[in-house]
A and B are shown apart, each in its own frame.
Chain A
Amino acid sequence: MPETRSARELFLTFARIGASGFGGVNYWVRRILVQEKRWISDGEYLEGLALGQIIPGPNVYNLTVMLGYRFAGVRGAFAAVGGLLGVPLAVLLVLGLLYNRYSALPVLQHALAGMTAVAAGLLLANAVSLAAAMPRRVLPWTFLMLAFVGVGVLRWPLLWVMAALSPFAMASVWRR
Chain B
Amino acid sequence: MTEWLALLWHFLLLGSVAVGGVSTVMPDMHRYVVDENAMVSSREFSDVYALAQAAPGPNALWVTLLGLQARGAAGALATTLGILVPATVFSLIASALHARHADTPLALAIRRGLAPVALGFMLASGWLLLRSIEQSVGGYALALIALGVAMGTRLNPLWVMAAGAIAGVAGFV
| A contact residues vs B (CB 8 Å cutoff) | 18-25, 47, 50-62, 65-66, 69-70, 74, 77, 81, 84-85, 87-89, 91-93, 95-96, 99-100, 103, 107, 110-131, 134, 140-141, 143-153, 155, 157-159, 162, 165-166, 169-176
Complex CA distance for A57 and B31, rounded to whole angstroms: 19
When the two chains form their complex, are residues B109 and A170 in contact, meaning their CB atoms are under 8 A apart?
A: yes
Q: Is the CB of A140 within 8 A of B116?
A: yes
With A and B bound together, what is the CA distance between A69 and B100 in angstroms?
Answer: 13
Distance to closest chain B CB from A149 (angstroms): 8
Q: Does B173 contact A114, Cβ atoms closer than 8 Å?
A: yes
Take A118-B164, A173-B112 as given contacts and tell me if A99 and B51 are in contact as well, using a CB distance cutoff of 8 Å. Answer: yes
Are A127 and B126 in contact, with the CB atoms below 8 A? Answer: yes
Q: Contacts A58-B58, A88-B61, A127-B122; is A117 near B108 (CB within 8 Å)? A: no
Contact of A134 among B28, B80, B111, B119 (CB under 8 A): B119
Which of A50, A77, A119, A141 is the one whose CB lies under 8 Å from B53? A119
Q: Which residues of B contact A23 (CB under 8 A)?
A: 156-158
> Is A171 in contact with B113, judged by CB distance below 8 angstroms?
yes
Query: What's the interface size class on B, roughly?
Result: 35 or more
Question: Which residue in chain B gives the minimum CB-CB distance to A1?
Answer: B100
Let me know if A56 and B90 touch, CB within 8 A: yes
B121 engages A129 (CB within 8 Å): no
Q: Across the interface, do B28 and A151 meet the contact criterion of CB distance under 8 Å?
A: yes
Asked whether, in the complex, the Cβ of B90 is within 8 Å of the Cβ of A57, the reply is: yes
**9 pairs of residues in contact across A and B, judged by CB atoms under 8 Å:** A62-B90, A91-B55, A96-B76, A110-B169, A111-B165, A116-B46, A119-B53, A123-B125, A124-B130
A165 to chain B, nearest CB (A): 5
**A151 to B124, Cβ gap below 8 A?**
yes
Cβ-defined contact, A112 with B146, below 8 A: no
Closest to B160 in A: A118
Chain B 131-158 residues near chain A, CB threshold 8 A: 132-133, 136, 138-140, 142-151, 156-158
Q: A147-B124, A174-B109 are in contact. List 10 more A-B contacts (CB 8 A).
A: A56-B17, A58-B59, A61-B60, A88-B57, A100-B69, A115-B165, A148-B124, A158-B17, A171-B113, A174-B113
